[in-house]
Structure 1
Amino acid sequence: MAIEPSEATTPAAPPQPPAVDPGQPPAADKVAGSGRSARAYRHSRPVFDRQIRIHSEYARRLVSLRQFRPTMTALYGIDVILRIVATDEEADQFERVITQRLEALSEALVAERERLQLELERHDLLKARPRYTHPVDLKVQIASPHIGAYTHLILEVDQLMIAIDTLWLSGLLSSKARTEIGIRWRNQLGRAAQSFIELHRYAYDEAKRRGQSEAVDNAAREVVTATDEDPSADETDGDPDAE
Structure 2
Amino acid sequence: MAEAATAQSEQPQQPQANRQPYSRPVFRQKLTVNSLQAQRVMERSFDRVSNALFSLDVILRIIGDQTEINQVEEIVQGHIERVAEDMAKAMEQLKKVMSDNGIEAVPGYSAPTEYSIEITSPQIAQIARLIRNLDELMSLVDTLWLNSILSSQQRSDATYEWQQRLIKLAGRIIGMEKRARISAHSKGKDKEVAEAAPEQETTDPELSSEADVQDNEDGAKSSKKGSKESSSGAEAA
Correspondence for 2:215: none
1:198 to 172, 175, 188: 175
Indicate whether 1:63 and 2:57 are aligned: no
Considering only aligned residues, what root-mean-square deviation do their CA atoms show, in Å?
2.6
2:141 to 140, 159, 164: 164
TM-score normalised by L of structure 2: 0.74
- Structure 1 unaligned blocks of 5 or more: 1-10, 16-31, 224-231, 233-243
- Structure 2 unaligned blocks of 5 or more: 205-237
Amino acid paired to 2:133: E
> CA–CA distance in 2 between the matches of 1:204 and 1:180?
36
CA positional deviation for 1:107? 0.6
> CA–CA distance in 2 between the matches of 1:88 and 1:36?
31
Amino acid paired to 2:149: L
Indicate whether 1:43 and 2:37 are aligned: no
TM-score normalised by L of structure 1: 0.73
CA positional deviation for 1:13? 8.1
Identity %: 30
CA positional deviation for 1:132? 1.2
2:59 to 68, 81, 86: 81
Q: Give the direction of change, closer, same or farther, for the CA distance of 1:33–1:84 in structure 2 (3 Å limit).
A: closer
Correspondence for 2:211: none
SS in structure 2 of the partner of residue 14 of structure 1: helix
Correspondence for 2:116: 139
> CA–CA distance in 1 between the matches of 2:62 and 2:126?
23
CA positional deviation for 1:144? 0.8
CA positional deviation for 1:193? 0.8
Amino acid paired to 1:164: V
CA positional deviation for 1:34? 9.1
> CA–CA distance in 1 between the matches of 2:136 and 2:13?
58
Correspondence for 2:81: 103
> CA–CA distance in 2 between the matches of 1:165 and 1:68?
23
Amino acid paired to 2:42: V
> CA–CA distance in 2 between the matches of 1:53 and 1:33?
53
SS in structure 1 of the partner of residue 8 of structure 2: coil
SS in structure 2 of the partner of residue 92 of structure 1: helix
